[in-house]
Amino acid sequence: MQVFLVEDSATIRERVAAMLEAVPNAELAGHAADADGAIREILAGAPDVVLLDISLAGGSGFDVLRAVRPQAPQIDFYVLSNVSAYPYRQLADTLGVRGFFDKSTEFERVRELIAERAARTPA
Amino acid sequence: MISVKRKLVRRPVLFAAGAVLIGVLLFANVVAFMRGLDAPWLLGIALVVDMLVIGAGIVVAAREVLVAEQRTEASQERLGAIVDSAMDAIITTDEAQNIVLFNRAAEQLFRVRREDMIGAPLDRLIPARFSGAHHGHIEQFGRTGVTSRRMGDVTTLWALRPGSEEEFPIEASISQALEDGRRYFTVILRDISVRKQAEEALLASQRELRELSARVLEAREDEKSRIARELHDELGQLLTALKMDLSSLRERLRDTEVAAKLDEMGRLLDQTVSSTRRISADLRPLMLDDLGLADAASWLVDDFGKRYGIASRIEINADGGLEHLSKNVSTTVYRAIQESLTNIARHSGARNAWVLVAAQDGNLEVEVEDDGRGIAPEDLAKAHSLGLRGMRERIAYIGGAFEVARTPRGGTRLRIKVPT
């Protein structure tokens, strides 16, 4: 299962990468730190799953969703963000994400979810 | 005063003396005529006496006329002295708007000589562009028959120094009087350049102060924004990384005592994260920049209700009107709602709060109402309502209107209207 990571903090990227490594059948396909780079690379690489941060170095995760979702509806988006008040969740919902997780308090649930999703994906 | 007394004493004495004299004279004449044939010399005496009396009468009458004339002259002189010593310029014109009186103050004000102005048209003292309107006004004033009124109640009046292009603002009143069937207009005016300048300077300084205070607020908002962002992003990310590390450590640990300690650390980290986010949001809600006013205001009202236990509802009738607000407008409106809610929590004792945001016809209207004890009129002016004053200033700066009042049922209602 190919996972693309959109995250502007290197510190967090390292840890998410380490988490993904521990999940069988999951592979980090690439990463981007800003919205434009993310849109370009996701559309080019067509990963199975995108882990998406909301506040980015340039633009926001919402920009990525608005640009990519209509063109590649088969890609599953999961938001992993430090901004998690309900208006953000609502907006992410309307833009068609599969899950929304608080980076600090719900990180462990992402790991479980990725593991589950990887198990369902043919290798 | 003295002349008045003399006049009062003299008249009755004169009349009495005159009456006695006429009586004696009549008697003497009758006697003279009856005995005239017998004694012609008596007739002669009577005739001489009659002529003397008639002569004396003529002299007295002539004196009276002379005194009256002198008095009129004196009174005119007094009036002239008053008009001349007046601080204000006084100008009288005849019906044809030609100058017939021009006092010393007028000479000084217009920097001309009286001799040059007497007989000259008043137009020489009025800037050409106002001349036509002025004539119209004077004619109308003449027709109304009102004796006097202030001129230029709404607009500033301007006068012109003859022989130069120099104009200056004046304040003037006009009166009219009929004399021997002719109409005369008298204008009393003064130069208000200095007052005008002071007024303008005051307005300019108020404008500058308002601008300065808006800039200070804006700078403060930017600063808060920056700190909020850094707290949330920088510190937040580091705490998140710590939390991730902690949970991966926790996974690998079998020692229950150490694991319990790590769980405790995890809880502390969660608290630290949530404190950081709260501090950041209090400084500046990033949501306002990320999602816009509608979401940020909804979240603010919900969060307020939870924090203070006041049932709070928000209704937004915007129809897309909140999407492209300038940062200044959305910040001002957001801060106004926030300030009002804070006031409700602090002072009102309310159980319910309602917020209404509506966008229509290029305006954004906001109402914040509560069912508390209601703001007292004197509180509006008190020091602790500095928040209100600040709000008023900010709203005025972006061209909006602001009012706070008690609602009919007793609570407080704040209304804001700003152009978008």
pLDDT (tens digit, 9 = 90+) per residue, B313-332? 999 987 777 778 888 899 99
pLDDT above 90 covers a percentage of chain B that reads: 36
Q: What are phi and psi of B36, to 5 degrees?
A: -55, -40
Q: Is the pLDDT of residue B1 over 50?
A: no
The helix/strand/coil state of B167 is strand
Nearest in space to B192 (alpha carbons), one of B165, B164, B163, B152: B152
Q: Which of A62, A83, A101 to mutate to test the interface with B (most CBs of B within 10 A)?
A: A83
Chain B partners within 8 Å of A54 (Cβ): 290
**pLDDT band of A2, cuts 50, 70, 90:** very high
Give this prediction's pTM. 0.65
- Could you say which of B237, B270, B287 has the minimum Cβ distance to residue A105? B270
* Distance from C-alpha of B167 to C-alpha of B173, rounded to nearest angstrom: 18
Write the burial class of residue B190 (CB in 10 Å: 0-12 exposed, 13-18 middle, 19+ buried).
middle
> Are residues A54 and B273, on separate chains, in Cβ contact within 8 Å?
no
Q: Is the pLDDT of residue B4 over 50?
A: no
| Residue partners of A34: CB distance under 8 A and separation at least 6 | A8, A56, A57, A58, A59
Q: Which of B234, B244, B301 to mutate to test the interface with A (most CBs of A within 10 A)?
A: B244
Q: Is the pLDDT of residue B3 over 60?
A: no
Please give the average per-residue pLDDT across B178-187, as a whole number.
88
Q: Determine the pLDDT at residue B384.
A: 53
Which tokens go with B264? 């405790």
Give the chain B residue nearest A14 (alpha carbons): B241
Which tokens go with A3? 């996972």
ipTM of this complex? 0.87
Listing DSSP states for B336-351 in one string gives HHHHHHHHIIIII--S
The DSSP 8-state label assigned to residue A65 in this structure reads: H
Q: Is the pLDDT of residue B8 over 70?
A: no
Average pLDDT of every residue of chain B: 86
First to last CA, chain B: 74
Please give the average per-residue pLDDT across B5-18, as a whole number.
67
The DSSP 8-state label assigned to residue B156 in this structure reads: P
Write the burial class of residue B73 (CB in 10 Å: 0-12 exposed, 13-18 middle, 19+ buried).
exposed
Sign of CA dihedral A11, A12, A16, A17: negative
Sign of CA dihedral A96, A102, A106, A108: positive
The DSSP 8-state label assigned to residue B121 in this structure reads: B
Please give the average per-residue pLDDT across B83-95, as a whole number.
91
Higher-confidence residue: A24 or B148?
A24
Contact with chain A for residue B170, Cβ under 8 A: no
Nearest in space to B344 (alpha carbons), one of B301, B285, B290, B394: B301
- Could you say which of A15, A85, A86 has the minimum Cβ distance to residue B241? A15
> Are residues B240 and A104, on separate chains, in Cβ contact within 8 Å?
yes
- Could you say which of A87, A104, A107 has the minimum Cβ distance to residue B295? A87
